[in-house]
Chains A and B, each alone.
Chain A
Amino acid sequence: MNEIAIEQGRVSDKFVFGFWIYLMTDLIMFSVLFASFAVLRGATFGGPAEHQLYDLANALTETLVLLTSSFTCGLAMLAAYRGKQGQATAWFAATFALGAAFLGLELREFFAFAAAGNTPQASASLSAFFTLVGTHGLHISAGLLWMLVAIAQIRLKGLSPFVVSKLKRLSVFWHFLDIVWIFIFTIVYLMGHML
C-alpha cells in the first residue's frame, strides 16, 4: 500500500472507531432503559400488565421486517464497496421502506394500546414499556432520516471514499438497532409472554 492509502485507512479507522464508542454509549443508555423496564414491569397499579396487551404476531412481524432490512442494508454496503451506485441506492431504498414499515407497525401497536386506555400515563409499567420501545423507535426514525441523506449523498457525490465511509457508519448504526431490537423482542415480548 502506498502512503496515501495507509493514511486514508488510518483516518477512516479513526472515524469508525469513534462511532463504535458512540454506539457503546448508546448501548449503555438502552441498558439503563432495560433495567428500568425490568424494575417497573410489575408496577401496573392495578391496571392490565403490559404483557397481557401484546399481539405477539405483530411483534414477530416487526422482528422479521427489521431483520430483513438489516439484510438489505448489508446488500447495499456490498454494492457500495463494489462501486455500484444504482444497486447501492436501490438497496438503501429497500432498507428505508422496510424501516418505515417497522415504524408503522410499532406505531400501530402504540395507538392500539392508547385507544384502549393503556397510555404511558396509566402506570409505571406502561411508562417503562413505551419509553424503552419508543426510544428504539426514535433511533429508527433518526436512522431513516440519515438514510435519506445518505441516498442523496450517493446520488450527488457518487461512491467516493468520503461517502462510503459515511455509509459504513450508517450500516453499523442500522445493525446496532437490529441487535437492540432482538433484546427488546426477547425481554419485552417473549419473556413477557411467558409471565
Chain B
Amino acid sequence: MTHLLFGNLTLADLPHKWFTVGATGSIIAGGIAIAALLTYLKRWKWLWSEWLTSTDPKKIGIMYIVMAALMFFRGGLDALMIWLQQALGSGALPGFLGAAHGYLDASHFQQIFTAHGDIMVFFGTMGFLFGLMNLVVPLQIGARDLAFPFLNSLGFWLFAAGAVLINMFFVIGGDFAASGWLSLPPLSGPEYSPGAGMDYWGWSLQISGLGSLLSGINFLVTILKMRAPGMTLMKMPLFTWTSLCSSVLVVSVFPVLTVAIALLWLDRFFGMRFFTSGFGGNPMMYVNLIWIWGHPEVYILVLPSFGVFSEVVATFSHKRLFGYVSQVFAALGVSSIACLVWVHHFFTMGAGADVNAVFGISTMLIAIPSAVQVFNWIATMHRGRIVFATPMYWFLGFVSLFMFGGMAGVLLATPAADYQLHNTLFLIAHFHTMVVGVGLFGIFAGITYWFPKVFGFTLSEKWGKRAFWLWLTGFFTAFTPLYILGSMGAARRVDSYAAATGFQPLYATALAGGLLIAAAFLTQIVQVVVSILERKQNLAGGDPWDARTLEWATPSPVPFYSFASTPEVRSRDAWWEMKKDGTANAPKKYEDIELCKNTGMAIYLSGCVFLLGFALVWHILWLGVLGLAGAIVCVIVRSFDEHTEYVVTAAEVEKLEKERLGRSPS
C-alpha cells in the first residue's frame, strides 16, 4: 500500500545530512523571502502576468539569464567544494567531518563533481546562451518575435522544470548521481547505481534536453523564415549566423542524447540489456552515443560566443568585420567538423590505430576554421579606432585563453599523447579553458554589450573591468596548476592522493585561483547593483556603442513591439549603413502589429512534465499517469485555441512612439 502511494520514497529520504538540510533550509528560506517580498510589494499579479506567462522573447531571454545565473552560482559552489577537498585531500592530513581525507567522503565528492558538470553545461551555459539568443536574434534579423512564441515559452519552462528537478535531490532523496557528468555504464546501470540520484540525473537532463530541442527548432525556423525584407543569408549579422549553426547542431545531436539516456533508463527501469556487462550488452555503445552528442555540444556552447565577439570587435573597432564570408564559412566548418570527431574522447577504447588516426586528424582540422576566425578578428582591429570598453577586455582575455586551450586541444588530439593524458587533470584544464575562456567570456562580453539594449542603461565599466581582471588572473591561477598536475599524471575525479606525490601545493594554488574566481563572480554582482544605482548617469540611447547591426535601430529599452515599422535591409551592417546614408531617422510608416498573447499553458504543461519526471525517479505509478495525462490534456487544450494572437493597431503604435519620443528628446 505505501509503495502504491509513495513508490520507492521512504521517510529516510527526507533531508537529514548537513548538506541536504542546509540546502533544503536555504531553498525554503529563499522561497519564503521572495514570497514575502512579492506580497509586501503587491507584485504577485505583475510577476505572473508580465513575466512568467510572457511569450515575448525579450522577457523570456531575461528569465533564461536569471535562471542560468542562479544555476551558475549553484555550480560554482560545487566547484569551490571540489577545489577545497582536493587542496585538503593529501594523505598526510587527517580528514574531518567523518571523511577519511579532506572534509568530503568519496561518494559525496563524486556527487558534487557530477552535479557541477551537469549544472554548468546544461543549466548554466546553455541557459545563458538561449537567453542571449532570445534577446538578440529576433532584433538582429528585424523580427518582432520568434517563429513559435508559445514553443519558446515552453522551451524555457521545460528548462526550468529540469533545473528544479536536478536540485530536488536535496529536498527528497539526499543523494545525486555519483557517476560523472555523462554517467557511463555499467557504473550508472542498475547494479552499481541503484539509487534515485541516478534517475534525478537522467530525467532532469531529458526534460531540459527536450526544452533545448524545441528551442533549437524554434531558432532554426525563426532565422530561416522570419528575416526582415532584404536581409539575405549573407547579410545576416555574425551572431545570428553562429546562433543558426548552434541551433542546427542542437537539432542534429540532442535526439542522440535523448536516445542514449532513454536506453540507459530502459536498462535501469525494465532491466533491459543495452549497456550491461552481461547478456550481450555493450557499454561502449553508450560511450559512442553520448559523445556523438557530447562533442558537438561543446560547439553548441562556444559558437554563439564566436558570434558575440564578431559583433563586439567590429563595433568597438568601428570597422566592418574583416573577412565576413570566410567568418561565416569558418562557423559552418566548425559546426560540420564538430560532428566528426567524437571518438577522440576515448582513443583508449582500443578501436585501433587507423580509427584513432582518422579521428585525431579530423580533430586537428578544427584548428583551421578556428584560426581563420581569430585572424579575422585581429585584422578587424588592425587600423581600427578601437574603444577599449569592457566587452573588448573580455575579447582579449578570450583570445589568450582560446589560443592556450586550443594548443592543449591539438596536443590531446594526438592519440599517442592522449594515452598519457586521458582522464588526467590536463584534460580538465583543457576543456575548462575552452568552455570558460570561450563560452563564458563570450557570454559576459555579450551581456555587457547588449545590457543597455535591454535595460536602457550601460553596466558600470569600472566594476566590469575589475571583474574581468579577477576572472583572468583567477582562471590562470586555478587552471595552470591543473595542466601541470595532469602532465605529472594526476587523475581527474580524485578526492585524495598520497602525500609523496607532492601534488598538494599545486592543488592549493588551484584553490587560491578558485577563490579569485569566486571574488570575480561577486564583483559581477556588485557591478550589476552599482549599475542599477547609477543608472541615471549611464542612460543609454538606442545606440550607445555606435554599433552596426539592426538591433541598435530600436530604442533602449526595446518596446514590446520591438520595431515600430518593419525595417528594410539593403546591406550587411544594416544599421551602420542607415546611419551613414541618413535613413536611420526617416519618418516611419506605421502598420498593424500582430503579437502572441501571454499564456500560462507552458507553465501548466511543464509542471505536468515535472510531475512525470519526479514520479519516474521514485517509481510512483499514479503520479506518473497523472503527470502524463495532464501534459497530454494541456497539449490538446492548446491545440483547440485559435485566438493566440492580438493586434496592436497602427494608430496605437503611432501614439506609443510619439509618447516615447516626447519623453526622450534624442
A-B complex is real: yes
Pick from B147, B213, B253, B274: contact of A128, CB under 8 Å: B274
Interchain CA distance A40-B266 in the complex, whole Å: 15
8 A Cβ contacts from B533-567 to A: none
Chain B residues whose CB sits within 8 angstroms of the CB of A121 once the complex forms: 270-273, 279
8 A Cβ contacts from B233-282 to A: 251-256, 258-260, 263, 266-267, 270-274, 276, 278-282
Interchain CA distance A160-B278 in the complex, whole Å: 56
Instruction: Tell whether, in the assembled complex, residue A36 and residue B274 are in contact, meaning their CB atoms are under 8 Å apart.
Output: yes
Instruction: Tell whether, in the assembled complex, residue B285 and residue A36 are in contact, meaning their CB atoms are under 8 Å apart.
Output: yes
Interchain CA distance A162-B259 in the complex, whole Å: 33
Instruction: Tell whether, in the assembled complex, residue A39 and residue B220 are in contact, meaning their CB atoms are under 8 Å apart.
Output: no
Query: Given A45-B278, A120-B272, A123-B280, A25 and B225 touching (CB < 8 A)?
Result: no
B218 within 8 A of A: yes
Q: Distance (Å) between the CB of A58 and the closest chain B CB? A: 23
Instruction: Tell whether, in the assembled complex, residue B263 and residue A36 are in contact, meaning their CB atoms are under 8 Å apart.
Output: yes
Instruction: Tell whether, in the assembled complex, residue A17 and residue B221 are in contact, meaning their CB atoms are under 8 Å apart.
Output: yes
Chain A residues whose CB sits within 8 angstroms of the CB of B642 once the complex forms: 157, 160, 162
- Binary A-proximity of B633-666 (CB < 8 A = 1, otherwise 0): 0001001101000000000000000000000000
A13 within 8 A of B: yes
8 A Cβ contacts from A56-97 to B: none
Chain B residues whose CB sits within 8 angstroms of the CB of A26 once the complex forms: 255
B: contact size bracket: 35 or more
Interchain CA distance A28-B217 in the complex, whole Å: 14
- Binary B-proximity of A109-140 (CB < 8 A = 1, otherwise 0): 00000000000111111111011000000000
Instruction: Tell whether, in the assembled complex, residue A29 and residue B279 are in contact, meaning their CB atoms are under 8 Å apart.
Output: no
Chain A residues whose CB sits within 8 angstroms of the CB of B148 once the complex forms: 18
Pick from B226, B254, B280: contact of A45, CB under 8 Å: B280
Instruction: Tell whether, in the assembled complex, residue B285 and residue A127 are in contact, meaning their CB atoms are under 8 Å apart.
Output: no
B632 within 8 A of A: yes
Chain B residues whose CB sits within 8 angstroms of the CB of A179 once the complex forms: none
Instruction: Tell whether, in the assembled complex, residue B282 and residue A124 are in contact, meaning their CB atoms are under 8 Å apart.
Output: yes
B34 within 8 A of A: no
Q: Distance (Å) between the CB of A125 and the closest chain B CB? A: 6
Q: Distance (Å) between the CB of A102 and the closest chain B CB? A: 21
Q: Distance (Å) between the CB of A1 and the closest chain B CB? A: 17
Interchain CA distance A160-B642 in the complex, whole Å: 11
B224 within 8 A of A: yes
Q: Distance (Å) between the CB of A59 and the closest chain B CB? A: 22
Most interface-central of A121, A153, A156 (chain B CB within 10 A): A121
Instruction: Tell whether, in the assembled complex, residue B220 and residue A131 are in contact, meaning their CB atoms are under 8 Å apart.
Output: no
A191 within 8 A of B: no
Pick from A14, A127, A153: contact of B221, CB under 8 Å: A14
A44 within 8 A of B: yes
Interchain CA distance A157-B278 in the complex, whole Å: 55
Instruction: Tell whether, in the assembled complex, residue A131 and residue B266 are in contact, meaning their CB atoms are under 8 Å apart.
Output: yes
Instruction: Tell whether, in the assembled complex, residue B636 and residue A25 are in contact, meaning their CB atoms are under 8 Å apart.
Output: no
Nearest to A160 among chain B residues (CB) is B642
8 A Cβ contacts from B346-395 to A: none
Instruction: Tell whether, in the assembled complex, residue B280 and residue A40 are in contact, meaning their CB atoms are under 8 Å apart.
Output: yes
Interchain CA distance A130-B217 in the complex, whole Å: 29
Chain B residues whose CB sits within 8 angstroms of the CB of A149 once the complex forms: 636, 639
Chain A residues whose CB sits within 8 angstroms of the CB of B147 once the complex forms: 14, 18
Q: Distance (Å) between the CB of B454 and the closest chain A CB? A: 26
Instruction: Tell whether, in the assembled complex, residue B636 and residue A18 are in contact, meaning their CB atoms are under 8 Å apart.
Output: no
Nearest to B645 among chain A residues (CB) is A11
B337 within 8 A of A: no
Instruction: Tell whether, in the assembled complex, residue A127 and residue B213 are in contact, meaning their CB atoms are under 8 Å apart.
Output: no
- Binary B-proximity of A20-39 (CB < 8 A = 1, otherwise 0): 01101110110011001001
Q: Distance (Å) between the CB of A184 and the closest chain B CB? A: 16
A43 within 8 A of B: yes
Chain B residues whose CB sits within 8 angstroms of the CB of A22 once the complex forms: 217
Q: Distance (Å) between the CB of B272 and the closest chain A CB? A: 4
B23 within 8 A of A: no
Q: Distance (Å) between the CB of A108 and the closest chain B CB? A: 20
Instruction: Tell whether, in the assembled complex, residue A32 and residue B273 are in contact, meaning their CB atoms are under 8 Å apart.
Output: no
Chain A residues whose CB sits within 8 angstroms of the CB of B278 once the complex forms: 45
Interchain CA distance A124-B286 in the complex, whole Å: 13
Chain B residues whose CB sits within 8 angstroms of the CB of A127 once the complex forms: 266-267, 272-274, 281
- Binary A-proximity of B193-224 (CB < 8 A = 1, otherwise 0): 00000000000000000000100011011001
Chain B residues whose CB sits within 8 angstroms of the CB of A166 once the complex forms: 639
Q: Distance (Å) between the CB of A10 and the closest chain B CB? A: 8
Instruction: Tell whether, in the assembled complex, residue A45 and residue B279 are in contact, meaning their CB atoms are under 8 Å apart.
Output: yes
- Binary B-proximity of A133-166 (CB < 8 A = 1, otherwise 0): 0000000000001000100010011001010001
Chain B residues whose CB sits within 8 angstroms of the CB of A124 once the complex forms: 273-274, 276, 279-282
B289 within 8 A of A: yes
Instruction: Tell whether, in the assembled complex, residue A17 and residue B285 are in contact, meaning their CB atoms are under 8 Å apart.
Output: no
Instruction: Tell whether, in the assembled complex, residue B280 and residue A14 are in contact, meaning their CB atoms are under 8 Å apart.
Output: no
Pick from B220, B254, B259: contact of A21, CB under 8 Å: B220
Chain B residues whose CB sits within 8 angstroms of the CB of A28 once the complex forms: 252-253, 255-256
Query: Given A28-B255, A124-B282, A14 and B271 touching (CB < 8 A)?
Result: no
Instruction: Tell whether, in the assembled complex, residue B255 and residue A17 are in contact, meaning their CB atoms are under 8 Å apart.
Output: no
Chain B residues whose CB sits within 8 angstroms of the CB of A122 once the complex forms: 273, 279
Instruction: Tell whether, in the assembled complex, residue B251 and residue A21 are in contact, meaning their CB atoms are under 8 Å apart.
Output: yes
Nearest to B213 among chain A residues (CB) is A25
Interchain CA distance A153-B637 in the complex, whole Å: 11
Q: Distance (Å) between the CB of A75 and the closest chain B CB? A: 23
Query: Given A25-B213, A120-B272, A145-B632, A43 and B259 touching (CB < 8 A)?
Result: no
Pick from B218, B267, B271: contact of A18, CB under 8 Å: B218
Interchain CA distance A123-B278 in the complex, whole Å: 9
Interchain CA distance A146-B254 in the complex, whole Å: 24
Q: Distance (Å) between the CB of A138 and the closest chain B CB? A: 11
Query: Given A22-B217, A29-B258, A162-B642, A125 and B271 touching (CB < 8 A)?
Result: no
Interchain CA distance A153-B276 in the complex, whole Å: 46
Instruction: Tell whether, in the assembled complex, residue B255 and residue A25 are in contact, meaning their CB atoms are under 8 Å apart.
Output: yes
Nearest to A22 among chain B residues (CB) is B217
Chain A residues whose CB sits within 8 angstroms of the CB of B636 once the complex forms: 149
Instruction: Tell whether, in the assembled complex, residue B640 and residue A40 are in contact, meaning their CB atoms are under 8 Å apart.
Output: no
Instruction: Tell whether, in the assembled complex, residue B251 and residue A25 are in contact, meaning their CB atoms are under 8 Å apart.
Output: yes
Interchain CA distance A128-B266 in the complex, whole Å: 10
Chain B residues whose CB sits within 8 angstroms of the CB of A13 once the complex forms: 225
Chain A residues whose CB sits within 8 angstroms of the CB of B273 once the complex forms: 43, 45, 121-124, 126-127
Instruction: Tell whether, in the assembled complex, residue B255 and residue A21 are in contact, meaning their CB atoms are under 8 Å apart.
Output: no
Instruction: Tell whether, in the assembled complex, residue A29 and residue B259 are in contact, meaning their CB atoms are under 8 Å apart.
Output: yes
Instruction: Tell whether, in the assembled complex, residue A131 and residue B272 are in contact, meaning their CB atoms are under 8 Å apart.
Output: yes
Instruction: Tell whether, in the assembled complex, residue A131 and residue B263 are in contact, meaning their CB atoms are under 8 Å apart.
Output: yes
Most interface-central of A33, A45, A157 (chain B CB within 10 A): A45
Nearest to B148 among chain A residues (CB) is A18
Interchain CA distance A168-B266 in the complex, whole Å: 34
Instruction: Tell whether, in the assembled complex, residue B254 and residue A25 are in contact, meaning their CB atoms are under 8 Å apart.
Output: yes
Instruction: Tell whether, in the assembled complex, residue B640 and residue A153 are in contact, meaning their CB atoms are under 8 Å apart.
Output: yes
Interface residues of A (CB under 8 A from B): 10, 13-14, 17-18, 21-22, 24-26, 28-29, 32-33, 36, 39-40, 43-45, 120-128, 130-131, 145, 149, 153, 156-157, 160, 162, 166
Q: What 8 A-B pairs have minimum CB-CB distances, sorted nearest first?
A: A43-B280, A124-B280, A127-B272, A45-B280, A29-B255, A28-B255, A124-B273, A32-B259
A/B interface sample: 7 pairs, CB < 8 A: A17-B224, A28-B256, A29-B259, A33-B259, A45-B273, A123-B279, A131-B272
New A-B pairs, 16, CB < 8 Å, besides A29-B256, A122-B273, A166-B639: A13-B225, A14-B221, A18-B147, A18-B221, A25-B213, A25-B255, A33-B259, A39-B285, A40-B285, A43-B280, A45-B273, A45-B279, A120-B270, A124-B273, A124-B276, A131-B263
